[in-house]
Amino acid sequence: MKLMKLLLIITIVLLSGVGFAGQTVDNVKAKGFVQAGANGDLFGFGKPDEKGIWRGLDVDTGRAIAAAVFGDASKIKFIPLTAVQRFTALQSGEIDVLCRNATQTLGRDSELGLDFAQVNYYDGQGFLVPKKMKLKNAKQLDGATVCVLPGTTTELNVADYFRVNKMKMKPVVIENNAELAKAFFAGRCDVLTSDASQLAGIRAVAPKPDDYVILPDIISKEPLAPAVRHGDNQWKDIVNYSVLAMIEAEELGITSKNVDEMLKSANPAVQRFLGVAPGNGKALGLNEKWAYNIIKQVGNYGEVFERNVGKNTPLKLERGLNALWKNGGLMYSPPFR
């Protein structure tokens, strides 16, 4: 009876976010902000800085969504989530969108009741090893102790890889990127496996980065994408096109710096994109200026990439698969018309 009373009190008095079943976008607009799930421990993708301000590629993706919906990239709140919590947080409606380097898989798309939007980072799983091991490729890893994040697709991929190649492994699982890296540098394991982007980042922060090499083998495909609840098409479209708008802007040469000049552009594609020639906004149920706001406040994909994970950051990542299709990458946006 007391339990009952307490539960009722908790639910009634301390209720902090009351939404309504149905369209996420209406719900978000009523709330006045987007609630996003983020990583919290992944430098370059989602992590608070020393002032407590969120930084990262995933976080900026979330900000782009807020800019599209509200015209204000700051109208978003991030909740740090562990790997275990991330999908239930979305399923239960605690968050509106999950921007937490989640790999799109068939199982997650179907059984977990999720929908993945446009990929914001194409990754693949690789291996980081100390140079003094003198390894040429991953086939020589038989018997190795492997540092890996638990509960991820990486954990499954590496188990598959070793099984397929009839090799033995001993996993060391630590649920925190920083601790994992630390354990690896201290020599707790022979090899660290993770998404290649993270390997670069981890290598970059090593006491002596030159002592470590990333093996050439990429053993999996890891398309990292923001996720939304299954069955809400309008909201999925908004999230999807918020990511695509950043890609399209890069292709059109629109940056946060020149976006105001671009408003005067004679190019009909640019005019449609920036809402000078209306139509796109109405189609998505957003302000016509939505794409303009994304680019103005967050930047195009190239800018976001360089700012968070690019050459001038500790991660020093190449564009690689994440270059525009014109440059040999996979980033390709459908026409904005």
Contacting another protein within 15-34 (CB under 8 A): 15-22, 27
CB 150 within 8 A of CB 180: no
Q: What three-state secondary structure class fits 216? A: coil
Binding part of the chain for another protein, among 60-68, 162-170, 264-272, 284-292 by CB under 8 A, reads 162-170
Q: Which residues pair with 171 in a beta bridge?
A: 146
Q: What three-state secondary structure class fits 308? A: helix
Q: What angle do CA 186, 80, 232 make, to 5 degrees?
A: 130
Site for another protein in 288-307 (CB under 8 A): none
Least Cβ distance, residue 329 to another protein (angstroms)? 26
The tokens of 109 are what?
């798309």
- CB closer to another protein, 140 vs 287: 140
Query: Using CA atoms, how far apart are residues 47 and 40, in angstroms rounded to an integer?
Result: 4
Q: Does 312 bind another protein (CB under 8 A)?
A: no
CB 20 within 8 A of CB 83: no
* Residue whose token pair is 């339990």: 3
Least Cβ distance, residue 164 to another protein (angstroms)? 11
Binding part of the chain for another protein, among 36-44, 64-72, 211-219, 255-263 by CB under 8 A, reads 36-44
**Binding-site member from 36, 64, 81, 254 for another protein (CB under 8 A):** 81
**Binding-site member from 34, 119, 144, 192 for another protein (CB under 8 A):** 144
**Binding-site member from 106, 111, 134, 166 for another protein (CB under 8 A):** 111
Spell out, one character per residue from 116 to 135, where the chain touches another protein: x when CB under 8 A holds, - when not: --------------------
- CB closer to another protein, 206 vs 269: 206
Binding part of the chain for another protein, among 47-55, 246-254, 272-280, 321-329 by CB under 8 A, reads 47-55
Least Cβ distance, residue 171 to another protein (angstroms)? 5
- CB closer to another protein, 15 vs 266: 15
Q: What three-state secondary structure class fits 195? A: strand
Q: Does 214 bind another protein (CB under 8 A)?
A: no
CB 203 within 8 A of CB 214: yes
Q: With contacts defined by CB under 8 A, how many residues of the chain interact with another protein?
A: 91
Residue 97 neighbours by CB under 8 Å, 6+ apart: 34, 35, 36, 37, 62, 65, 90, 226, 227, 228, 235, 239
- The DSSP annotation for 76-115 comes to EEEEE--HHHHHHHHHTTS-SEEEEEEEP-HHHHHTT-EE
* Residue whose token pair is 């950051």: 313
Q: Does 165 bind another protein (CB under 8 A)?
A: no
**Binding-site member from 216, 279, 314, 334 for another protein (CB under 8 A):** 314
Q: Does 209 bind another protein (CB under 8 A)?
A: no
Query: Using CA atoms, how far apart are residues 130 and 191, in angstroms rounded to an integer?
Result: 8
Binding part of the chain for another protein, among 187-195, 212-220, 250-258, 280-288 by CB under 8 A, reads 187-195
Site for another protein in 252-281 (CB under 8 A): none
Least Cβ distance, residue 146 to another protein (angstroms)? 8
The closest of 274, 250, 280, 278 to 261, measured between CA atoms, is 274
Query: Using CA atoms, how far apart are residues 91 and 64, in angstroms rounded to an integer?
Result: 22
Q: Does 164 bind another protein (CB under 8 A)?
A: no
Least Cβ distance, residue 142 to another protein (angstroms)? 7
CB 99 within 8 A of CB 37: yes
Q: What three-state secondary structure class fits 209? A: helix
